[in-house]
């Protein structure tokens, strides 16, 4: 299969708000708790295997990682939240970094919120969706790891997440990075936002 993008490179890794790069290209940010397969989804979206680092240890992503894609837009990989086994002080530092980035006047065209479809939504998930809605930025919801559920259970699980998060069905995408299910449709949707000239 032909790779969807020709040139992908790590532009910068950010560990503190003052290190954020000067806004240049449109940005799409991927965020979710630390065991939802965020890095795998980024790699699947980009059509690569090792762009975003995949780890069996939740909370591996410790910085905001900016990846330049074909000199057209940036993919931003944010640290996961929730189950990361890190000291509270470091967790607060990550939260401040993430919130500073998301609330700053940057060309963030889309937020991709990733959840594990097998789980029941909890307070952390609700806090994330409410925070993102308050930002008034474009976002969509990805229910990942559908290969871990029987196909007959997908509609019920999707409906549960849709109702709890309070989002429209059109804003929800089901994916499996392992099987490749839903990745192409998700990629087209993301690019429709990121590369649109008239969106903010």
Does 1 map to a domain? no
Does 2 map to a domain? no
3-state percent breakdown (helix, strand, coil) of the chain, nearest 5: 35, 25, 40
The predicted structure's pLDDT at residue 56: 43
Range scoring the smallest mean pLDDT among 108-112, 122-126, 158-162: 122-126
Q: What is the pLDDT of residues 12-48, one digit of tens each?
A: 999 999 999 999 999 999 998 878 889 899 999 999 8
Arithmetic mean of pLDDT, 90-112: 90
Does 200 map to a domain? no
Does 29 map to a domain? yes
Of residues 60 and 128, which shows the higher confidence score? Answer: 128
Does 106 map to a domain? yes
Arithmetic mean of pLDDT, 71-90: 79
Q: How many domains does the chain have?
A: 1
Q: Count other Cβ atoms within 10 Å, centred on residue 141.
A: 22
Please name every residue paired with 76 in a beta bridge, in sequence order, or none if there are none.
Answer: 29, 66
Alpha helix positions (H), the chain: 38-46, 88-103, 123-135, 154-165, 183-194
Q: Report d(CA 33, CA 126) in Å as an integer.
A: 12
Q: What is the pLDDT of residues 147-180, one digit of tens each?
A: 999 999 999 999 999 999 999 999 999 999 999 9
26-55: string of b/e by CB count within 10 Å (b at 16+)?
Answer: bbbbbbbbbbbbbbbbbbbbbbeeebbebe
Does 199 map to a domain? no
Does 128 map to a domain? yes
Q: Determine phi and psi for 68, rounding to 5 degrees.
A: -90, 130
Q: Report d(CA 48, CA 9) in Å as an integer.
A: 11
37 conformational bin, left if phi > 0, alpha if psi -120 to 50, beta if neither: left
CATH number for position 51: 3.40.50.300
Task: State the residue range of the domain holding 92.
Answer: 8-194
Range scoring the smallest mean pLDDT among 41-55, 83-97, 125-139: 83-97
> Exposed/middle/buried for 86, CB within 10 Å: 0-12, 13-18, 19+?
middle
Arithmetic mean of pLDDT, 175-192: 95
């Amino acid at each position: 299969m032909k790779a969807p993008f020709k040139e992908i490179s790590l532009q910068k890794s950010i560990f503190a708000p003052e290190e954020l790069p000067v806004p240049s290209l449109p940005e799409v940010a991927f965020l979710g708790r630390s065991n939802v397969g965020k890095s795998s989804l980024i790699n699947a979206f980009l059509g690569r295997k090792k762009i975003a680092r995949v780890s069996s240890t939740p909370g591996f992503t410790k910085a905001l990682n900016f990846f330049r894609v074909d000199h057209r837009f940036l993919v931003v990989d944010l640290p996961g939240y929730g189950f990361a086994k890190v000291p509270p002080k470091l967790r607060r530092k990550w939260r401040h970094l993430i919130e500073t980035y998301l609330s700053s006047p940057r060309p963030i065209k889309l937020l991709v919120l990733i959840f594990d479809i097998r789980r029941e939504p909890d307070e952390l998930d609700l806090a994330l969706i409410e925070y993102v809605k308050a930002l008034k930025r474009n976002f969509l919801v990805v229910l990942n790891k559908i290969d871990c559920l029987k196909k007959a259970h997908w509609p019920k699980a999707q409906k549960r997440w849709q109702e709890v998060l309070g989002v429209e069905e059109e804003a929800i995408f089901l994916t499996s990075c392992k099987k490749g299910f839903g990745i192409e449709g998700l990629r087209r949707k993301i690019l429709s936002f990121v590369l649109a000239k008239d969106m903010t």
